[in-house]
């Protein structure tokens, strides 16, 4: 798998060619325990449904990217959004992307669109976080128990060359008391690109309040609540998610909406 140097670390990535040149490129930002391989076939399905090219990468400490040597800082999502992601986009010559972010990746997408000063064509947010909820803390604490006592570690090890670094880097920062005050609501009014926010009603890591706060702060946000759906809507309700993204991309890619919009 190819890799690129960004943020001072070697990051693995996969790139899918567009079927319809001229459309914005999709950039996939994975969840807190995700990687290129953990997206499975979802990026390819979305690329096929939209005609867009796609860039999928594993952040530092995940998948086959450089391992994490210690704990993550509380501002790790800001560092990714404002330092590493811009450098990665520049090195791979991606301009005005549609960011597709899941969980932590959704939060990174929001921060980038709001505060990087770079053109963003749109945001597709799957179960994003804008603040720390008690349900998140409880579920992340439960994940720690599962990692130590069940086959979760073995299952994750298929997707991360340093599974312990990937898991504990995510788990410890979210359970750090200093992280309880993490909140990006003040940035939301600065997001000026179109937004599609998708949230499962049975999400074990967050409530509908997360996407409702985005909709209240970003005019025109399209909300898609899904029943019988947990934290990973693209796995629980893949047909509905792919169809919604395809409709969203069609609107974003219209010529009259094709001018660069700075997030």
Tens of pLDDT along 48-106?
A: 999 999 999 999 999 999 999 999 999 999 999 999 999 999 999 999 999 999 999 99
Mean pLDDT to the nearest integer, 212-217: 98
Predicted confidence at residue 232, as pLDDT, reads: 98
How far apart are alpha carbons 25 and 70 in whole angstroms? 33
Determine, yes or no, domain membership for 193.
yes
Determine, yes or no, domain membership for 236.
yes
Determine, yes or no, domain membership for 152.
yes
What CATH number has the domain bearing residue 20?
3.40.50.1820
Mean pLDDT to the nearest integer, 14-34: 97
Predicted confidence at residue 213, as pLDDT, reads: 98
What digits encode the pLDDT tens for the residues 98-137? 999 999 999 999 999 999 999 999 999 999 999 999 999 9
What is the span of the domain harbouring residue 121? 3-257
How far apart are alpha carbons 197 and 80 in whole angstroms? 20
Q: What six digits make up the tokens of 181?
A: 């005050």
Determine, yes or no, domain membership for 219.
yes
Determine, yes or no, domain membership for 262.
no
Determine, yes or no, domain membership for 210.
yes
Structurally, the chain folds into a number of domains equal to 1
Mean pLDDT to the nearest integer, 31-52: 98
Q: What percent of the chain has pLDDT above 70?
A: 97
Return the bridge partners of 54, or none: 16, 26
pTM of the model: 0.95
Determine, yes or no, domain membership for 263.
no
Predicted confidence at residue 254, as pLDDT, reads: 78
Determine, yes or no, domain membership for 221.
yes
């Amino acid at each position: 798998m190819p890799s690129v140097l960004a943020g001072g670390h070697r990051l693995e990535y996969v790139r899918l060619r567009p079927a319809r040149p001229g459309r914005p490129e999709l950039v996939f930002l994975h969840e807190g325990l995700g990687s290129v391989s953990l997206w499975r076939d979802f990026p390819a399905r979305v690329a096929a449904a939209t005609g867009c090219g796609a860039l999928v990468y594993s952040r530092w400490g995940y998948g086959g990217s450089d391992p994490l040597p210690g704990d993550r800082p509380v501002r790790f999502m800001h560092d990714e959004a404002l330092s590493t992601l811009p450098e990665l986009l520049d090195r791979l010559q991606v301009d005005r992307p549609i960011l597709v972010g899941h969980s932590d990746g959704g939060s990174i997408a929001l921060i980038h669109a709001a505060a990087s000063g770079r053109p963003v064509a749109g945001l597709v947010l799957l179960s994003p976080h804008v603040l720390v909820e008690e349900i998140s803390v409880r579920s992340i604490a439960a994940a720690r128990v599962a990692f130590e006592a069940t086959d979760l570690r073995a299952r994750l090890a298929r997707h991360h060359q340093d599974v312990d670094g990937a898991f504990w880097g995510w788990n410890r920062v979210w359970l750090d008391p200093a992280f309880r005050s993490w909140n990006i609501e003040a940035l939301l009014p600065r997001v000026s690109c179109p937004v599609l926010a998708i949230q499962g009603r049975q999400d074990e890591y967050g409530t509908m309040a997360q996407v409702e706060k985005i909709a209240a702060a970003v005019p025109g946000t399209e909300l898609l609540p899904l029943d019988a759906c947990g934290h990973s809507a693209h796995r629980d309700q893949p047909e509905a998610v792919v169809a919604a993204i395809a409709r969203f991309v069609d609107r974003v890619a219209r010529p009259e909406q094709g001018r660069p919009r700075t997030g």
